[in-house]
Amino acid sequence: MTRSIDRSDARKRVLDAAKRLFSQRRYNAVTLRDIAAEVGIRHISLYYHVPGGKEALFIEVTERSLQHHYERLTHPIDRAQPNVHARLRGALIGYFHNHQWI
């Protein structure tokens, strides 16, 4: 059980580091070695956490980010009163409170 928790934590650290580096430098300027150095592991170890390499890592980071934004946007809409004006207001509040992309 501890091993799966450790692996899950390491994977989260890899994804968080990749998101941070892709945000700062963009995709082409980031290498797997950069991400590994950020996490404190050997770059070959990244394939254990993301077998598809840099492209798969970028896709997963992007999907996670879009899912996060979707949830942040829909939550205020779902909580709004059942009229168009309130729902649009909720959408705008959700959008502007979390307007941070990858």
Range(s) of the domain holding residue 88: 2-97
Q: Is residue 71 part of a domain?
A: yes
Taking the C-alpha atoms of residue 59 and residue 35, their distance in angstroms, rounded to an integer, is 15
Q: Is residue 64 part of a domain?
A: yes
Q: How many residues does this entry show for the chain? A: 102
Taking the C-alpha atoms of residue 70 and residue 46, their distance in angstroms, rounded to an integer, is 28
Sequence-ordered list of residues with C-beta below 8 angstroms from that of 63, at least 6 positions apart, any chain: none
Q: Tens of pLDDT along 6-62?
A: 567 888 999 999 999 999 999 999 999 999 999 999 989 888 888 898 999 999 999
Q: Is residue 92 part of a domain?
A: yes
Whether the per-residue pLDDT at 100 is higher than 70: the answer is no
Sequence-ordered list of residues with C-beta below 8 angstroms from that of 54, at least 6 positions apart, any chain: 27, 30, 31, 32
Q: Is residue 35 part of a domain?
A: yes
CATH of the domain at 79: 1.10.357.10
In total, how many domains does the chain have? 1
On the CB side of 46, how many CA atoms lie within 13 Å of its CA? 26
Q: Is residue 102 part of a domain?
A: no
pLDDT of residue 5: 45
pLDDT band for position 81 (50/70/90)?
A: low
Give me Rg for the CA atoms of the chain.
17
